[in-house]
Amino acid sequence: MEFGIPKETRPQEHRVSLTPSGVEALVRSGAKVWVERGAGIGAGFEDEEYERVGARLAYSRQEVFSRAQVVVCVHGPAAQEYHLLRPGLVVMGFWALPAGRPEEVTELLATGASVVGYEIIEDSQGQAPVLTSMSEIAGRLAVTIGSGLLLNVFGGKGILFSGVPGVPPANFVVIGAGALGRAAAQAALGMGASVVLLDRSVAHLREAARAVGPSVPTMLASPANIEKAIAFADLVLLAAAIRGERAPLLITRDMLRKMKPRAVLMDLSIDMGGCAETSRPTYFPDPVYTVEGVRHFCVPNLPSVAARSATLALTNTLLPFLLSIAQAGFAQALRVTPELAVGTYTFQGKLVHQGLARVFGLPASELSALLP
């Protein structure tokens, strides 16, 4: 098998899909790996490090896509890059297709490529190993960055996140008790903030309560409870998601008007469409805008801020799937690795993900019936 590691082209994306040690493991398994020049620079990995472990350097993004049988990205190519795809090619990455446009899905199917989405790879316990690794990083970063956005020097009201004796801490509201929300709640609790956690699922709230402890109040994420919670919040983190579907709309403009002036709203579900009516993607170095007096932070690739750590975590979770493909080929790997099959959006130009089919009203095939 020949694998390709391209340089990422999304704004402010510094991650790379595999570290040199991950590439070395693939090479030792018998695979050939092409790495685009400069692909690892943002995460602190030089071209020479990849060459030393047996990778071959490619001089352009187009060369990576033309030489490889399996292209391993951080983000799937944008629609304007679909011309790089071809029948038989496998492209793995964060695709977030349910938040896209139907015509883009149709164009993607027309390429004849097979597409694997990291965000929908799921094991038998319902856990998403690749997505979780990035969500945990994003949750911790959200607290670090969000606490800074409350300070005057960054345009905030001058609130110290942790408080001091005699001065209460910031009110931090987390909506979504998944991996990202739990990581953020734990980090905020450790810093001394006042944390409230909401979710639509009582089961998720029970799991979160066990993880963060009884000192964090939990609430069902009904519209009334959300409106009540955000009205008192200094910092709101939106981390709600439905795997394989667009993010649910939870905060309307009317709700926003009831928040404190210069409160901060961080929508980290923006890669799947966002959870607030007023959310739109933003990027560093200008990641904040204001609507109805509320400051919005909606960076879709937040783990890229800690690119080296995120690349290491990404390699840890991706490598078992890549080794399975390297040893058995993609089609056979889908048979023997159920998580990989669950994470497949399209197979050789056929839509095989039922959730995506429902979102856009498209027909879907059974993957098992297409495998040779």
Instruction: Mark whether 190 and 103 lie in a shared domain.
Output: no
Instruction: Mark whether 217 and 314 lie in a shared domain.
Output: no
Distance in angstroms (rounded) separating the CA atoms of residues 313 and 16: 11
Instruction: Give the pLDDT confidence score for residue 27 in this predicted structure.
Output: 98
Instruction: Give the pLDDT confidence score for residue 71 in this predicted structure.
Output: 98
Instruction: Establish how many alpha carbons lie within 13 A of residue 245's alpha carbon, considering only the half-sphere containing its beta carbon.
Output: 12
CA neighbor of 95 nearest in space, from 124, 72, 126, 112: 72
In the chain, the number of structural domains is: 2
Taking residue 191's Cβ as centre, other Cβ atoms within 10 Å add up to: 18
Distance in angstroms (rounded) separating the CA atoms of residues 211 and 185: 10
Q: 78 Cβ partners below 8 Å, 6+ apart?
A: 9, 10
76, two tokens:
């799937």
Residue with tokens 């069902």: 220
Q: Kindly report the CA angle at 359 between 100 and 80, in degrees rounded to 5?
A: 20
Instruction: Mark whether 106 and 30 lie in a shared domain.
Output: yes
Exposure of 291 by Cβ count < 10 A (0-12 exposed, 13-18 middle, 19+ buried)? middle
Instruction: Give the pLDDT confidence score for residue 244 in this predicted structure.
Output: 84
Instruction: Mark whether 27 and 115 lie in a shared domain.
Output: yes
Distance in angstroms (rounded) separating the CA atoms of residues 239 and 28: 39
Assess whether the previous peptide bond of 285 is cis (omega < 30° from 0): yes
Instruction: Mark whether 120 and 135 lie in a shared domain.
Output: no
Distance in angstroms (rounded) separating the CA atoms of residues 132 and 206: 18
Instruction: Give the pLDDT confidence score for residue 243 in this predicted structure.
Output: 85
The reported pTM is 0.95
Domain end point (choices 251, 280, 297) = 297
Instruction: Mark whether 320 and 285 lie in a shared domain.
Output: no
Q: 155 Cβ partners below 8 Å, 6+ apart?
A: 149, 262, 288, 295
Q: 245 Cβ partners below 8 Å, 6+ apart?
A: 98, 272, 355, 358, 359
Domain end point (choices 251, 266, 297) = 297
- The domain in which residue 100 lies consists of 2-125+306-370
Instruction: Mark whether 149 and 184 lie in a shared domain.
Output: yes
Domain end point (choices 251, 270, 297) = 297
pLDDT beneath 50, residues of the chain: none
Taking residue 93's Cβ as centre, other Cβ atoms within 10 Å add up to: 20
Instruction: Mark whether 53 and 134 lie in a shared domain.
Output: no
Instruction: Give the pLDDT confidence score for residue 125 in this predicted structure.
Output: 87
Exposure of 344 by Cβ count < 10 A (0-12 exposed, 13-18 middle, 19+ buried)? buried
Instruction: Mark whether 312 and 289 lie in a shared domain.
Output: no
Instruction: Mark whether 106 and 254 lie in a shared domain.
Output: no
Instruction: Mark whether 136 and 120 lie in a shared domain.
Output: no
Instruction: Mark whether 191 and 317 lie in a shared domain.
Output: no
> Which residue(s) pair with 350 in the sheet?
347
Q: Which CATH number belongs to the domain containing residue 220 in this structure?
A: 3.40.50.720
Asked if 274 and 299 touch (Cβ cutoff 8 Å), the reply is no
